[in-house]
Structure 1
């Protein structure tokens, strides 16, 4: 009887152990990634086994109507974000499946959560938050889409239910996914963020490459720590784990031999967006041609090492975040654009495969391939420095008319502190007129983006109304405020077409009526006639067109609408007494 009970116990233990295996681990060749229902079911079952130190919290919704599920792990069983901050604990946020065809993080996180709970290995000073699967929409659209990729056997599609690339959506926030992500971000206030991906590009020997917040774009206080301490630690630990890394980008600008250009993740990307919140941010990019199981295990190891150093440097990371927030609150000048600085070039050791050419069986012409029988190690150039191409000085405050509701909603969601005017009032402040801009001929992620913006700042009185918003630029979130509101910003709200209605005229004139009015204007103000003659000398087409000359007079008359090309936000530059609610 005792033998029977003992055997039965062993059986049930084995059964429970098998029940904790992920779909990836249970698959025959480990070339399988869990479906969305399998992911949620797995975490729900795991939560029943470890209810004390694990929570599943559903947030908001996504474009497909399902909530984002956040897995929260807390050794001390505290799941109140406010209390966690009061206890001076760090928060690490990990995002998985923003591109469901790059699913390593989904499966690696499932194993990592189980192992930390099972082995009582949760860090004492770090609360870990994992978004189980971000692009639920794309994950449900399961099949084959990434033709260049070596497994898994089936996976989701890059575009979500609205066919948006969610890793281009964080500033414009067209998707419900992005709105919900921001809710999670501002609720938990992580100090470190990780987004798990799979790369494309050249073939080489590495299983994993890495993107970090570009050092010249990152807050200097954080950049000093990541450059000298955190990033070298991750590279060292991954090498010891058997997954030596290099920076992402080999072959993105040609063959790897030509060098690697560090990736510039502007605010449209997850890590560029979190950098605006003064969060240390990383993206893992496992190599598409390596076996899926190796990519999963490499992602597992990276997350483990990131947790380890976050625990080791928990107090330091918290202090650096506090200092960075304080620094940004006082910062006066902000970068609006960046470009690679080719005058500053580093070198790195690169392990690649020899690039060769042979006749294509499709075209009959020469085609590129990488010969894995010819590995090499060589020193290549690494372009890891960027220079600022445009800047903007912050005003004392911005005034945002309440009519621009989406901006107000996004500012509230991002934790921007705002006040409202108590009464209708006329303020003398600085207003931009859009002097010039270019618009892309084709849409990008649903928008015809603007660039090359030139501004004409004018000091003038403007009428604002009770309920309009005042945003003072003395906040830790200043980067988000200034980089979105200054029109010349690479990912500003103007760039993403939030203000396109101001780019078209609403009033016009009838030629035959305005002819007499224009003639009277010229008689009463000879300077108009003089300026017109000068304009005709400089523009032959104007001189030959009666219609164009009439329009020129109209544009220089009191009748021309003053709101055309006028940026609707005001910039308060000096101390101004405001009656606020």
Structure 2
């Protein structure tokens, strides 16, 4: 008899704890040779991440699996442990596939039972105030109070580093990260966020939009769970329309996009009964498996083509904006919204009348355009001192070369001309944005052991979107390089006054530059300190590394002395 999950034993009212989930999978793997429970790395909670692998051929080595031309589907559960449907659905699905001997021939299924182990131990029944069950569940933040679905680039948590190890070891073609929604009320149990199509390589985007997503919708309709795109309303209710979700690289599916993996965030509706949400998740995961098995050969071909195209791609988008001029419509099953007096405040409040369901057409905006693009260099050069950056590039299967000897190299350098910084911390950082760079050609000194990253790799998207400072989720914007924004030397004004006098006397071009600045800026013309600082910063006394972004661009195809 197949083992029951804690969810089933509770009458479908409770979700499995971390200990229960791991114990369940250990027993499942022990009794089934087509299943293996692996452990990787560690987490901020001190426990490793588990990975259940289901393989019909009993092969559990990812390199061997890829050589045999099988697809890999990775399912991630419990990134937000208060949204636990995937935890319970995956346990039942793994058991049922094994028990009925129904594992797909051409797809290996990998399941992370609980990703945010830390948060799963912080268990209450109240932290998600708007959610209808289960009885108790985990907390969104991990033990560092980080939202792990904002941590895939900055990698402040050990959880993220270990996830990236798993992801880049197994290299799945399809990724699913299970969630529960917040927001408006409507009739659907399941909503769906696919990888933003406009950010994907066109071959992958075409398959996603023309085949995979439509067939997911058809499959779920047939299983009794019609779906709708994630209800990202432009106003308080969906009636005025919804927009697509831009999954930045900080998010799981935005991160997987950087590796040419098609990702999904299914979001069940918070107000539906928990058993319906689990059942819908179970059936959606089942549908993914069926479609990936059906299209296994095509998915593999698409991924290989996309990797080749990205390796040779010249221009890359760094920032994305919603195109409000392109709009579609879609049928939407909602509930009539209205207002009534609040029993708390006496003011008018929003409510949805479930006695008044409707189906009507609403608008959808889901076209995103690159607002900033960059031409890739031949390579980036990174001084070895920036070891955190180097470690993350290596973790993401980026090939790095090391300089063999000391020497000067002609490069394109960026100086950070301007940027904005949030006034409040976001996920432990004061995030930068609206970065402006000043580009200049320089001969810079490099040393043996400094790193060269050639931009001719399938991982080009990851390379460019982390190393170009204007990219929304660049390492610069996540404060990896903030020390360059500080001056380490300055001057005493009473001493530098005499030096500045000599500089202006001996450098007519500098004097003309100062005079032009005074003529164009009345406030500057009245500010003696600002004028003295201007002379200093336009002289050889000013440190050349201040505001100079340390990752340089090699734009001339020169032969470097590499190890």
* Equivalence for 2:22: 40
Give the whole-Å Cα distance in 2 for the aligned partners of 1:568 and 1:413: 21
Contact kept in structure 2, 1:417 and 1:471, CA below 8 Å: yes
Shift of 1:150: 0.5
Contact kept in structure 1, 2:217 and 2:226, CA below 8 Å: yes
- Is the aligned partner of 1:521 residue 2:508? no
Shift of 1:537: 2.3
* Equivalence for 1:10: none
- Is the aligned partner of 1:134 residue 2:126? no
Long gaps (5+) in structure 2 = none
* Equivalence for 2:271: 289
User: Which residue of 384, 390, 400 maps to 2:382?
Assistant: 400
Shift of 1:543: 1.9
- Is the aligned partner of 1:315 residue 2:297? yes
Give the whole-Å Cα distance in 2 for the aligned partners of 1:48 and 1:417: 38
Give the whole-Å Cα distance in 1 for the aligned partners of 2:522 and 2:486: 26
Give the whole-Å Cα distance in 1 for the aligned partners of 2:254 and 2:324: 22
What is the correspondence of 1:506-545 to structure 2 with a 5 Å cutoff? 506-545=488-527
Give the whole-Å Cα distance in 1 for the aligned partners of 2:304 and 2:34: 27
Shift of 1:203: 0.1
Give the whole-Å Cα distance in 2 for the aligned partners of 1:543 and 1:250: 50
User: Which residue of 181, 202, 206 maps to 2:188?
Assistant: 206
* Equivalence for 1:12: none
User: Which residue of 536, 544, 554 maps to 1:554?
Assistant: 536
Give the whole-Å Cα distance in 2 for the aligned partners of 1:250 and 1:193: 22
* Equivalence for 1:457: 439
* Equivalence for 1:471: 453
Contact kept in structure 1, 2:234 and 2:241, CA below 8 Å: no
User: Which residue of 27, 34, 43 maps to 2:10?
Assistant: 27
Contact kept in structure 2, 1:39 and 1:132, CA below 8 Å: yes
Give the whole-Å Cα distance in 2 for the aligned partners of 1:529 and 1:83: 69
Q: Secondary structure of the residue that 2:98 maps to in structure 1?
A: helix
Contact kept in structure 2, 1:430 and 1:570, CA below 8 Å: yes
In the superposition, the TM-score normalised over structure 2's length comes to 0.99
* Equivalence for 1:62: 43
- Is the aligned partner of 1:370 residue 2:352? yes
Shift of 1:253: 4.1
Contact kept in structure 2, 1:333 and 1:391, CA below 8 Å: yes
- Is the aligned partner of 1:359 residue 2:341? yes
What is the correspondence of 1:401-480 to structure 2 with a 5 Å cutoff? 401-480=383-462
* Equivalence for 2:229: 247
In the superposition, the TM-score normalised over structure 1's length comes to 0.96
Shift of 1:261: 0.3
After TM superposition, the structure 1 stretch with the greater mean CA deviation from structure 2, 532-541 or 359-368, is: 532-541
Shift of 1:252: 6.0
Long gaps (5+) in structure 1 = 1-15
* Equivalence for 1:124: 105
Shift of 1:459: 0.7
User: Which residue of 79, 83, 93 maps to 1:102?
Assistant: 83
- Is the aligned partner of 1:578 residue 2:555? no
Give the whole-Å Cα distance in 2 for the aligned partners of 1:566 and 1:500: 11
Shift of 1:250: 4.3
Shift of 1:530: 2.3
- Is the aligned partner of 1:71 residue 2:64? no
Q: Secondary structure of the residue that 2:198 maps to in structure 1?
A: coil
Shift of 1:429: 1.1
Give the whole-Å Cα distance in 1 for the aligned partners of 2:234 and 2:103: 38
Write out per-residue CA displacement over residues 232-284 of structure 1, whole angstroms, 9 at most, x where no aligned residue. Answer: 00000001111100000243643101111011101000000001000011110
Write out per-residue CA displacement over residues 387-433 of structure 1, whole angstroms, 9 at most, x where no aligned residue. Answer: 11110110001101101001100011000001000001100110011
Give the whole-Å Cα distance in 1 for the aligned partners of 2:235 and 2:243: 8
Contact kept in structure 1, 2:414 and 2:549, CA below 8 Å: yes
Q: Secondary structure of the residue that 1:285 maps to in structure 2?
A: strand
Q: Secondary structure of the residue that 1:527 maps to in structure 2?
A: helix
**Residues 34/252 of structure 1: CA separation in 2 closer, same or farther (3 Å cut):** farther
Contact kept in structure 2, 1:126 and 1:314, CA below 8 Å: yes
Contact kept in structure 1, 2:323 and 2:367, CA below 8 Å: yes
Give the whole-Å Cα distance in 2 for the aligned partners of 1:540 and 1:258: 49
Shift of 1:220: 0.4
Answer with 1 or 2: which has the greater Rg.
1
* Equivalence for 2:245: 263
Give the whole-Å Cα distance in 2 for the aligned partners of 1:557 and 1:201: 56
Shift of 1:570: 1.3
Runs of 4+ in 1 over 3 A off after TM superposition: 250-253
Shift of 1:343: 1.1
Give the whole-Å Cα distance in 1 for the aligned partners of 2:238 and 2:493: 62
Shift of 1:546: 1.8
* Equivalence for 1:194: 176
Give the whole-Å Cα distance in 2 for the aligned partners of 1:545 and 1:124: 76
Give the whole-Å Cα distance in 1 for the aligned partners of 2:74 and 2:9: 27
Give the whole-Å Cα distance in 1 for the aligned partners of 2:497 and 2:210: 70
Shift of 1:535: 1.3
Contact kept in structure 2, 1:201 and 1:252, CA below 8 Å: no
Contact kept in structure 2, 1:202 and 1:252, CA below 8 Å: no
Q: Secondary structure of the residue that 2:413 maps to in structure 1?
A: strand
Contact kept in structure 1, 2:417 and 2:438, CA below 8 Å: yes
Give the whole-Å Cα distance in 1 for the aligned partners of 2:69 and 2:556: 37
